[in-house]
Chains A and B, each alone.
Chain A
């Protein structure tokens, strides 16, 4: 039963890594994103399949409880992801705002040109 569970976990990990690189090849994600998720999935896979591999990391952060360590690390990773998403969302928001303003000004310029075509011809 444990061997079956390990096999499933290994399968999911490998599948996830393949999917990330498939998306990268299709230019649907960046190399930075692909590397981040690959490393994360490898760590998750190793951590689940070989729990003792976590012991070194636990010693470094001076934690003794493996479950607590995994929970804290999980929260830490989620915070990093949320932070990156927040930065990306703000950047997109600013871009959309600029675009909306540019569209408004462009339409205004066009309407002014259609009202005063003579001025436009004089400039030429």
Chain B
């Protein structure tokens, strides 16, 4: 029996990008859109694609949207929870790659790597300069062998996610989810594998992540989790 897959997508005012993302979701996958306080028409667009909407009454931030997505997904009997962005940079057609890796290796989590994927030459300065550095630190602290620890395109085995779901209730820095998540997951014994992904350019809008704010946030998340 094929695994039941759900794709969780956190969005904030992505009405111009979401349609092309949802168009590319492979058939047979359920979709949960976590609307993090959008003020545009993204909910109406998502409903046309029969996506389930989970709405934050006010904007909390991407990390919180991801956590809400996990909680919503775990309420149902899915086998795999795929987390991705709604800005068009992640290609849903690559999801089968994650599932294949998970099946082959038995990994609890499969993360997408922009570093070993294509289009890395055109990556922004922050990603090229600081991402390998942060990933190296997280690898040292966790024992994982990732090349890209900050990519928001990840697949989680639902049974493993359910086992560690309590972590999401008391995260120290939810806005900078990845760093703390991997540090705490490694203590729970979860395994991580990687697949290369091809990062697409964002078609509309701008990222809300500030260069130094995000870097400082990740640093703080690492320090606080270790303390």
Query: Which residues of B, 41-68, contact A by the 8 Å Cβ criterion?
Result: 52-58, 60, 64, 67-68
Chain A residues whose C-beta falls within 8 Å of the C-beta of B54 in the assembled complex: 104-105, 107-108
Instruction: Decide yes or no whether A101 CB sits under 8 A from chain B.
Output: yes
Q: Are A100 and B71 in contact (CB under 8 A)?
A: no
Q: Are A97 and B52 in contact (CB under 8 A)?
A: no
Q: Are A97 and B60 in contact (CB under 8 A)?
A: yes
**Residue-by-residue, is A65-109 near B (CB-CB < 8 Å gives 1, otherwise 0)?**
000000000000000000000000000000001001101110111
Chain A residues whose C-beta falls within 8 Å of the C-beta of B67 in the assembled complex: 101
Q: Are B52 and A101 in contact (CB under 8 A)?
A: no
C-alpha spacing A109/B75, complex, angstroms? 8
When A107-B54, A108-B52 are in contact, do A101 and B64 touch as well, CB less than 8 Å? Answer: yes
Q: Are A101 and B68 in contact (CB under 8 A)?
A: yes
Which of A97, A107, A109, A112 has a CB less than 8 Å from the CB of B55?
A: A107
Interface of A is mostly: helix
Q: Are A97 and B64 in contact (CB under 8 A)?
A: yes
* Chain B min CB distance to A91 (Å): 13
Q: Are B60 and A105 in contact (CB under 8 A)?
A: no
Instruction: Decide yes or no whether B72 CB sits under 8 A from chain A.
Output: yes
Chain B residues whose C-beta falls within 8 Å of the C-beta of A109 in the assembled complex: 75
In the complex, which range does the number of interface residues on chain A fall in? 10 to 19
When A101-B67, A101-B68 are in contact, do A108 and B75 touch as well, CB less than 8 Å? Answer: yes
* Chain B min CB distance to A38 (Å): 36
Instruction: Decide yes or no whether A33 CB sits under 8 A from chain B.
Output: no
Q: Are A103 and B64 in contact (CB under 8 A)?
A: no
Chain B residues whose C-beta falls within 8 Å of the C-beta of A112 in the assembled complex: 52, 75-76
Q: Are A104 and B52 in contact (CB under 8 A)?
A: no
C-alpha spacing A112/B32, complex, angstroms? 12
CB-nearest residue of chain B to A96: B58
Chain B residues whose C-beta falls within 8 Å of the C-beta of A111 in the assembled complex: 52-53
**Residue-by-residue, is B74-90 near A (CB-CB < 8 Å gives 1, otherwise 0)?**
01100000000000000
Please list 12 pairs of residues, one from A and one from B, whose beta carbons are closer than 8 Å in the complex, sorted by A's number.
A97-B60, A100-B56, A100-B57, A100-B60, A101-B67, A101-B68, A104-B56, A105-B54, A107-B54, A108-B52, A108-B54, A111-B53
